[in-house]
Amino acid sequence: MLKISPAPLPFPKWVNKFLVIGASIVGFGGAYVLAVAIYAAAPGTQRIGYAPKQPVAYSHLLHAGELGIDCRYCHNTVDTSAQASIPPTQVCLNCHANIRSTSEKLIPIRESYATGMPVEWVRIHDLPDFVYFNHSAHVNRGVGCASCHGRIDKMEVVSQDQPLTMGWCLDCHRNPEKHLRPLDEVTTMDYVPLEDQEALGERLKAEYKIRDREKLTDCSLCHR
Ligand code: HEC
Ligand code: HEC
Ligand code: HEC
Ligand code: HEC
Ligand code: HEC
58, 69, 101: residue to mutate for ligand 2 pocket, most atoms within 8 A of CB: 58
Atom in ligand 3 nearest the alpha carbon of residue 86: 29
pLDDT score, position 46: 79
Is residue 54 within 8 A of residue 121, CB to CB? The reply is: yes
Average pLDDT over residues 89-99: 97
Residue 178: nearest ligand to its CA? 4
pLDDT band at 36 (very low <50, low <70, confident <90, very high): very low
Does 1 have pLDDT greater than 70? no
% of the chain exceeding 70 in pLDDT: 80
176 lines ligand 4 (CB under 6 A): yes
Residue 89's CB: how many other CB atoms inside 10 A?
Answer: 20
Does 25 have pLDDT greater than 50? no
Residue 76: nearest ligand to its CA? 3
Q: How far is the CA of 27 from the centre of ligand 3 (A)?
A: 39
What does the alpha-carbon distance between residue 167 and residue 178 come to, in Å, rounded to a whole number?
16
% of the chain exceeding 90 in pLDDT: 79
How many residues make up the chain in this entry? 224
Residue 127: nearest ligand to its CA? 3
What would the pLDDT profile of 38-74 be if each residue is shown by its tens digit?
A: 444 455 577 999 999 999 999 999 999 999 999 999 9
170 lines ligand 5 (CB under 6 A): yes
Average pLDDT over residues 150-176: 97
**Nearest alpha carbon, ligand 4 atom 24:** 137
173 lines ligand 5 (CB under 6 A): yes
List residues near ligand 3 (CB under 6 A): 71, 75, 78, 83-84, 86, 125-127, 133, 135, 138-139, 143, 145, 147-149, 164, 186-187
Short-list 86, 85, 89, CA closest to 113: 89
pLDDT score, position 21: 45
Q: How far is the CA of 179 from the centre of ligand 2 (A)?
A: 32
Average pLDDT over residues 22-28: 47
Atom in ligand 1 nearest the alpha carbon of residue 56: 15
Q: Tell me 83's DSSP state.
A: -
Q: What angle do CA 85, 91, 92 make, to 5 degrees?
A: 115
pTM: 0.89
